[in-house]
Amino acid sequence: MNYNYRYRLRPSDALEEQLAWTVDTCRQVYNHFLHRLNHTDDTSAYSEQKLLPSLKKWWNDLKNVHSKVLQKVVQRLYDNLSTLRGRKENGYRVGTLKWKAPGEYRSFTYSQSGFKLKNTSGRARLWLSKLGEIPLTFHRDLPDDAEIKTVTVKQEPTGKWYAILGVETPDDPPKKPENPEKCVGIDVGILKYAHDTDGTAVESLDLSDERERLERAQRDLSRKEHGSANWEKQRKVVAERHADLKQKRRDFLHKLSNYYATEYDLVAVEDLDAKGLVELPGNSRNRAGAAWGTFLRMLEYKCEREGTHFVAVDPKDTTKECASCGVKTDKPLWVREHSCPSCGFTADRDWNAAWNILSRGIKRLGAGRSESTPVETALPVSSVVDAKRVVETGSPTLKERTASAVSE
């Protein structure tokens, strides 16, 4: 399996200048081959990569950049072109590839060779050809049998440097069970971030303080003269606030998705069009901040890693249908309780939707297992888990039921 591990680099001032110079040189190479692409017929990534040795004869700076890095720059250009063509084929209106201005190109990649991870005497260093050894914060060990395939060096808008190690392990993921026993359906929302069929509701993460600090920093930035030294200093402050907000949100999503992937044999979710939901009028900031698409992507790859079935079902009418009898009942968004006029089943709106999601997931998977309705199983009432418990303990501790929930 393939994994990516991200580590913070700690370059000296001299090395940092050299890293920045390498990034800018790669940007110029990208623009050079983009110009050739726009003015030359019948080009390909392979044919353009063959021109790099001759290019070094008159472009002396390229001799100080590793050959694999330059090849990946050309490959990156043609990967972007392929993505653009794919979007056009899918009906999107697309333009053309644009030249990269300084600040728009922030990374370069080594593949196959030109790098080595050294971890001696507890001091981890990353050796990169043409650059030398760079100290890094090695906060997480790599798997014992992992082989590093690629190294991407990236500078964030905050000015910090990171190394993303692409590793490959020979082991295949665990085999998924043919008849999953522990199954869960998850309905995501804003008031409660996740409501599952086990009766657990996880609160949304409160990031209001972080958003307020970001807004203050953005207001201060707007008062600075663009391009001045004070403007650049404040720009980094704004970037730090953005990074803080992003890191806290992703930490919460990583821990929550990891719990569901490791504790269950089957996880059923809605196949949401997260981008389309954000574009809807009204409350778009909260929908964007919920990062449902990121959560579902994390959950999917972690289920694959743990050998758990991941099933995305059609979200249509999951809230309207009764989980007990299947009768549809229209209800506005502010009505938070499902009450079926046909069978009398009453439950939390999101819990009812989670059961419908699970039923569709099992039916789609064809697990050969009949799922009981909430009425037949008499599950306990919902127990609410604070988002802080997810962040502080590393898992939502959803197994622990409150005394009142267990008694029912």
Q: Is the pLDDT of residue 124 over 80?
A: yes
Over residues 362-387, the mean pLDDT reads: 61
Other Cβ atoms less than 10 A from the Cβ of 143: the count is 14
pLDDT in tens, 254-291: 999 999 999 999 999 988 776 666 665 655 666 666 78
pLDDT of 113 reads 92
Token pair belonging to 353: 């939707």
Alpha carbons 59 and 56: distance in angstroms, whole number: 5
Q: Which amino acid is at 395?
A: S
- The domain limits of the chain are 2-168, 183-407
CA distances from 23 to 32, 67, 111, 397 (A): 14, 14, 16, 44
Alpha carbons 214 and 149: distance in angstroms, whole number: 37
159: pLDDT confidence band, cut at 50, 70 and 90?
very high
CB 148 within 8 A of CB 104: no
12: pLDDT confidence band, cut at 50, 70 and 90?
very high
CB 180 within 8 A of CB 132: no
* 380: helix, strand or coil: coil
pLDDT of 370 reads 47
pLDDT in tens, 383-396: 777 777 777 767 65
pLDDT in tens, 92-105: 888 899 999 998 99
Q: Which residue has the higher pLDDT, 159 or 174?
A: 159
Considering only 7-21, 99-113, 126-140, 308-322, which range has the smallest mean pLDDT? 308-322
Token pair belonging to 31: 């623009």
Of the candidates 14, 37, 325, 379, the one whose C-alpha atom is nearest the C-alpha of residue 201 is: 379
pLDDT of 289 reads 65
Of the candidates 80, 72, 82, 83, the one whose C-alpha atom is nearest the C-alpha of residue 99 is: 80
Between 13-39 and 67-89, two packed helices, what is the crossing angle to 10 degrees?
A: 50
DSSP 244-281: HHHHHHHHHHHHHHHHHHHH-SEEEEE---HHHHHHSS
Alpha carbons 220 and 237: distance in angstroms, whole number: 10
Q: Is the pLDDT of residue 403 over 60?
A: no
How far does Cα 65 stand from its chain's mean position?
30
Alpha carbons 234 and 244: distance in angstroms, whole number: 15
CB 249 within 8 A of CB 205: yes
Alpha carbons 85 and 92: distance in angstroms, whole number: 10
DSSP 120-157: ETTEEEEEETTTEEEEEE--SPPPTT-EEEEEEEEE-T
170: pLDDT confidence band, cut at 50, 70 and 90?
confident
Token pair belonging to 10: 């700690």
pLDDT in tens, 24-83: 999 999 999 999 999 988 889 999 999 999 999 999 999 999 999 999 999 999 999 999
401: pLDDT confidence band, cut at 50, 70 and 90?
very low
Considering only 28-42, 345-359, 365-379, which range has the smallest mean pLDDT? 365-379
Contacts within 8 Å (CB) and 24+ apart, 223-232: none
Considering only 313-322, 349-358, 390-399, which range has the smallest mean pLDDT? 390-399
pLDDT of 283 reads 59
pLDDT of 277 reads 62
Residues 6+ apart with CB under 8 A from 293: 272, 274, 275
Q: Kindly compute the dihedral angle of the four CA atoms of residues 293, 84, 55, 150, in this order, to the nearest 10 degrees.
A: 20
CB 259 within 8 A of CB 299: no
pLDDT in tens, 190-224: 778 888 888 888 888 888 899 999 999 999 999 99
Residue 29 is classified by DSSP as: H
Of the candidates 280, 278, 354, the one whose C-alpha atom is nearest the C-alpha of residue 313 is: 354
With residue 84 as reference, give the H or E element that holds it. helix 67-89
CB 338 within 8 A of CB 382: no
* 79: helix, strand or coil: helix
169: pLDDT confidence band, cut at 50, 70 and 90?
confident
Token pair belonging to 89: 């084929």
pLDDT of 280 reads 59
pLDDT of 364 reads 85
- pTM value is 0.80
Determine what percent of the chain is predicted with pLDDT higher than 70: 87
Residue 90 is classified by DSSP as: T
